[in-house]
């Protein structure tokens, strides 16, 4: 066996990883490394994988003073003493996480705890890092000794490149990543998300397990393949793989009864036994087939979620608010939707706003059918929720990400504004959500610069065009690019929100759009058949009740 076999129990290791073919890795270009990592170039050679890990981790930009192997040799005896390694307590910041043994032998299992304790000694600023035990255990398989493993873990933790996020080390970062994952599931795994909402009282509680699926439940052959790509491409890979796991879980378990009383336990069991359903290659193939947001957009979404948590004072671990029950029955009263229906809507909105309570801002029953009062009561609130009930008892609405006061920035022209988080939905006669067409069909978008003299006007009676409003305030944390960043084919585009003294236009997705007249008594829908969705409601309808809801801390 090779020099990196000291801590490996080869009876447990996948036979495909034991190849001793004399491969080398000479490339340094990112694109080539990315391709080789995804292909599993070093996955079937234990020694080569160890050398590649060492090379990739050594290239991570770190703090000036980062503990190395010599530091470990100096402190390990002092910290561990004569205690048995198997009885060593883990630091609180790992949050009682699983310490997976993977394919480690007895010496390796004990060494993991020693290394984690020494890491805790050198990184007093770490307050929450549940992924650390799994990362340490994985790297130990590819280390010559404990000191080398310690150094590699320290380099990952000490990364100081703001654009290269690796492992969450605070509760704020961890919790916001769970919220971000929930947002991504809501966009990319809608069938699975619908199942989570149906069987779980707290959806975010389920999604808070996403890192555990990867760093705790996944078998060794799978987590190593994920780590291969993670070291090259970064944190976004983790989101991709977790989304793929959820997609496979839904596909395999769809229509079957739950195996336990908890969907969390069912998902964990599925991930542990994933070899029965999916190979590592198929898992990664599925992960990279997801047309995920750009790294920049995900970073913005993460920042927005962190900001929301900070504003609520949630920066350390505490009992999580039951997000799914954020709509309290005793405090909620609507003439359009029930508590259950409002909770369903709440499961669709971005996680950072699901922390809030609904606040009624405007209702035609109390404030009358006045568009000016609609604006005056809605302005100053961001985001808002529009609900409409027609005289035919149809119920539809829209989640609107941007303050209605933005409409004034276009002057007298009817200009469009908002972000890609906007969507429209139907609750009656049946439930359907329509995202913005570009989110579901990104091939329709061509990023382009806004033309100075572009005409932004669009009469209420025409198809929504690709014009847009003025730039958004620079301080706004917007998870998605606003409409002005895209040149869209006018026949299929829906352009978020627009308002004037004469009408309101709300464009949702898949060609769906709502037009409301100034008297707020009449409206109509525009529907493009490109994607064969059912219309929101009748093409021409009379409004029975209209409500606007805000979000209260």
Residues 6+ apart with CB under 8 A from 495: 416, 418, 458, 464, 465, 466, 467, 468, 483, 488, 507
User: Is the pLDDT score of 553 beyond 80?
Assistant: no
DSSP 87: G
Return the pLDDT at 511.
56
Of 410, 40, 44, 344, give the one whose Cα is nearest residue 197: 344
Return the pLDDT at 432.
82
User: Is the pLDDT score of 101 beyond 80?
Assistant: yes
Return the pLDDT at 103.
95
Average pLDDT over residues 413-418: 79
Average pLDDT over residues 129-141: 96
Q: What pLDDT digit, counting tens, does each position of 37-50 carry?
A: 999 999 989 999 99
Q: Cα(67)–Cα(154) distance, rounded to whole angstroms?
A: 6
> Among 251-260, 301-310, 417-426, where is mean pLDDT lowest?
251-260
> Among 103-117, 137-151, 195-209, where is mean pLDDT lowest?
195-209
CA distances from 192 to 269, 270, 279 (A): 16, 14, 20
Q: Cα(428)–Cα(395) distance, rounded to whole angstroms?
A: 5
Cis peptide, bond prior to residue 383, ω within 30 of zero: yes
Return the pLDDT at 447.
40
Q: What pLDDT digit, counting tens, does each position of 364-408 carry?
A: 999 999 999 999 999 999 999 999 999 999 999 999 988 999 888
550 token code pair: 């805000």
pTM: 0.78
Cis peptide, bond prior to residue 429, ω within 30 of zero: yes
Return the pLDDT at 326.
58
Q: What is the DSSP string of 390-414?
A: ETT--EEEEEE-S-GGGGGGGTTS-
Confidence at 329, pLDDT banded by 50, 70, 90: low
Return the pLDDT at 201.
77
To which H or E segment does residue 107 belong? helix 106-122
Q: Provide the mean pLDDT of the chain.
A: 82
Beta bridge partners of 18: 45
Average pLDDT over residues 120-137: 95
Q: Cα(132)–Cα(163) distance, rounded to whole angstroms?
A: 21
> Among 94-98, 187-191, 250-254, 329-333, where is mean pLDDT lowest?
329-333
Q: What pLDDT digit, counting tens, does each position of 482-512 carry?
A: 444 444 444 334 457 888 888 888 874 445 6
Q: Are 254 and 219 in contact (CB under 8 A)?
A: no
Confidence at 58, pLDDT banded by 50, 70, 90: very high
Q: Which of 522 and 446 is assigned the larger pLDDT?
A: 522
Q: What pLDDT digit, counting tens, does each position of 422-469 carry?
A: 888 888 888 888 765 444 444 444 443 333 334 333 333 333 333 333
Residues 6+ apart with CB under 8 A from 419: 401, 402, 472, 478, 479, 480, 481, 482, 483, 496
213 token code pair: 């699926």
Query: CATH class for domain 171-312?
Result: mainly alpha
User: Is the pLDDT score of 97 beyond 70?
Assistant: yes
Q: What share of the chain in percent tops pLDDT 90?
A: 49
Confidence at 57, pLDDT banded by 50, 70, 90: very high
Q: What pLDDT digit, counting tens, does each position of 284-301 carry?
A: 999 999 988 788 888 888
Cis peptide, bond prior to residue 336, ω within 30 of zero: no
Of 505, 526, 508, give the one whose Cα is nearest residue 516: 505
To which H or E segment does residue 37 belong? helix 30-39
Return the pLDDT at 15.
67
Return the pLDDT at 16.
63
Confidence at 247, pLDDT banded by 50, 70, 90: very high
Q: What share of the chain in percent tops pLDDT 70?
A: 82
168 token code pair: 């969450």
């Amino acid at each position: 066996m090779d020099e990196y076999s000291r801590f490996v129990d080869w009876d447990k290791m996948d036979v495909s990883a034991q190849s001793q073919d004399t491969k080398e890795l000479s490339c340094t270009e990112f694109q080539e490394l990315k391709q080789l990592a995804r292909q599993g170039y070093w996955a079937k050679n234990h020694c080569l994988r160890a050398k590649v890990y060492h090379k990739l981790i050594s290239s991570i930009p770190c703090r000036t003073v980062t503990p190395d192997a010599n530091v470990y040799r100096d402190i390990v005896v002092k910290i561990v003493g004569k205690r048995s390694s198997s009885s060593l307590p883990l630091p609180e910041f790992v949050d009682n996480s699983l310490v997976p043994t993977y394919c480690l032998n007895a010496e390796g299992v004990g060494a993991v705890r020693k290394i984690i304790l020494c890491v805790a000694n050198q990184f007093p600023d770490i307050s929450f890092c549940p992924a650390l035990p799994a990362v340490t255990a994985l790297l130990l398989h590819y280390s010559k000794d404990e000191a080398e493993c310690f150094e590699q873990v320290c380099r990952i933790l000490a990364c100081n490149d703001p654009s290269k996020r690796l492992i969450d080390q605070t509760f704020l970062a961890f919790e916001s990543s769970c919220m971000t994952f929930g947002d991504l599931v809501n966009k990319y795994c809608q069938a699975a998300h619908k199942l989570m909402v149906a069987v779980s009282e707290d959806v975010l509680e389920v999604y808070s397990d996403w890192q555990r699926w990867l760093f705790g439940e996944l078998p060794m052959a799978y987590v190593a393949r994920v780590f291969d790509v993670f070291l090259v491409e970064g944190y976004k890979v983790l989101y991709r793989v977790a989304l793929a796991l959820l997609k496979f879980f839904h596909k395999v378990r769809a229509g079957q009864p739950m195996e336990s009383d908890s969907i969390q336990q069912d998902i964990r069991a599925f991930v542990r036994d994933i070899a029965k359903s999916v190979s590592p290659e198929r898992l990664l193939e599925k992960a990279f087939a997801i047309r995920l947001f750009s790294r920049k957009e995900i970073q913005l979404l993460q920042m927005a979620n962190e900001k929301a948590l900070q504003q609520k004072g949630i920066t350390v671990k505490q009992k999580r608010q039951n997000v799914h029950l954020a709509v309290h029955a005793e405090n909620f009263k609507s003439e359009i939707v029930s508590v259950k229906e409002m909770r369903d809507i709440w499961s669709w909105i971005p996680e950072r706003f699901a922390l809030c309570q609904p606040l009624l801002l405007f209702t035609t029953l109390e404030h009358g059918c006045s568009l000016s009062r609609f604006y005056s009561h809605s302005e100053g609130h961001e985001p808002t929720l529009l609900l409409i009930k027609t005289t035919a008892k149809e119920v539809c609405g829209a989640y609107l990400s941007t303050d209605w006061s933005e409409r004034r920035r276009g002057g007298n022209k009817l200009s469009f504004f908002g972000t890609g988080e906007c969507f429209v939905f139907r609750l009656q006669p049946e439930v359907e959500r329509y995202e913005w067409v570009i989110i579901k069909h990104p091939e329709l978008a061509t990023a382009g610069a806004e033309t100075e003299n572009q005409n932004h006007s669009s009469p209420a009676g025409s198809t929504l065009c690709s014009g847009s409003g003025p730039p958004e305030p620079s301080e706004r944390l917007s998870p998605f690019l606003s409409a002005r960043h895209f040149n869209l084919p006018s026949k299929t585009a829906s352009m978020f929100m627009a308002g004037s003294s004469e009408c309101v236009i709300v464009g949702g997705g898949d060609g769906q759009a709502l037009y409301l007249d100034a008297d707020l008594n009449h409206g109509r829908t525009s529907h493009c058949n490109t994607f064969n969705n059912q219309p929101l409601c009748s093409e021409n309808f009379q409004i029975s009740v209209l409500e606007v809801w805000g979000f209260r801390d």
